[in-house]
């Protein structure tokens, strides 16, 4: 039904989408995980309360999350050019994706870590555990299941964002859907890209949930 060129293009699109999503999530966690940890421990009832640090991170997270992603994409063009050297294509899209993902991930991590039983943290403190030990050996371990669920949700969200980046030449399945489906009225191709995007989200979700259930030792 499609020419081999179109199929080639779709395969390339899947590759680009996966590349953007996975790389953005990875870099997002590189910054978002520490930010979420800092938010958790610096909060008033955290293990290292620090109201100034908490307020600063809190405000940053809220500001970035309030800006619509498309606006962020455009505003960040000079910054993207500075880092990647160009402002279009999949690699360039990773920059605004990471910027948008970091505060989102930080909030996810924060809410996961908050679920950890305060009693277990107190027990670790009573054993003389340092803040660092409590974070690495108690918080992250006990919140493991919830953190993995967070990664799963984040992957789905970033996949959606990456498709949005297609509107400004970001590459990937979103780009194809816009160019062929929207500008050229090729409904068939658009439908296929949308189905592919749904399948990808479905796959991430299934793997993530299976993993989190398998790793949960609470039952």
Q: What are the residues binding another protein (CB under 8 A)?
A: 117, 119-120, 122-130, 133, 137-138, 141-142, 144-145, 215-219
Q: Which residues of 14-29 are buried (b: 16+ CB within 10 A; e: fewer)?
A: bebbbbbbebbbebbb
Tell me whether residue 78 or residue 128 sits nearer to another protein (CB atom): 128
CB of 29 to another protein, least distance (A): 19
CB of 55 to another protein, least distance (A): 17
DSSP H helices, the chain, are 4-42, 51-66, 69-75, 77-84, 90-114, 118-126, 131-133, 140-142, 144-164, 172-176, 187-215
Residue with tokens 């395969």: 11
Burial of 204 (0-12, 13-18, 19+ CB in 10 A): buried
CB of 151 to another protein, least distance (A): 16
Tell me whether residue 52 or residue 127 sits nearer to another protein (CB atom): 127
Tell me whether residue 61 or residue 147 sits nearer to another protein (CB atom): 147
CB of 85 to another protein, least distance (A): 44
Tell me whether residue 13 or residue 150 sits nearer to another protein (CB atom): 150
């Amino acid at each position: 039904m499609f020419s081999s060129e179109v199929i080639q293009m779709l395969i390339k699109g899947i590759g680009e989408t996966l590349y953007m999503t996975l790389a953005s999530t990875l870099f997002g966690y590189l910054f978002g995980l520490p930010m979420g940890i800092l938010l958790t421990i610096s909060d008033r009832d955290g293990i290292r309360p620090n109201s100034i640090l908490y307020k600063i991170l809190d405000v940053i997270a809220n500001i970035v999350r309030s800006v619509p992603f498309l606006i962020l994409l455009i505003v960040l063009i000079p910054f993207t050019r500075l880092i990647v050297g160009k402002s279009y294509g999949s690699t360039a899209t990773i920059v605004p994706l990471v910027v948008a993902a970091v505060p989102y991930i930080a909030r996810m991590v924060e809410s996961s870590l908050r679920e950890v039983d305060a009693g277990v943290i107190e027990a670790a403190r009573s054993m003389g555990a340092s803040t660092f030990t409590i974070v690495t050996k108690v918080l992250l371990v006990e919140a493991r299941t919830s953190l993995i669920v967070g990664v799963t949700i984040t992957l789905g969200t970033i996949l959606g964002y990456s498709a949005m980046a297609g509107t400004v030449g970001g590459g990937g399945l979103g780009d194809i859907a816009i160019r062929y489906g929207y500008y050229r009225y090729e409904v068939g191709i658009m439908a296929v890209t949308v189905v592919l995007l749904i399948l990808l989200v479905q796959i991430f979700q299934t793997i993530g949930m299976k993993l989190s259930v398998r790793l949960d030792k609470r039952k």
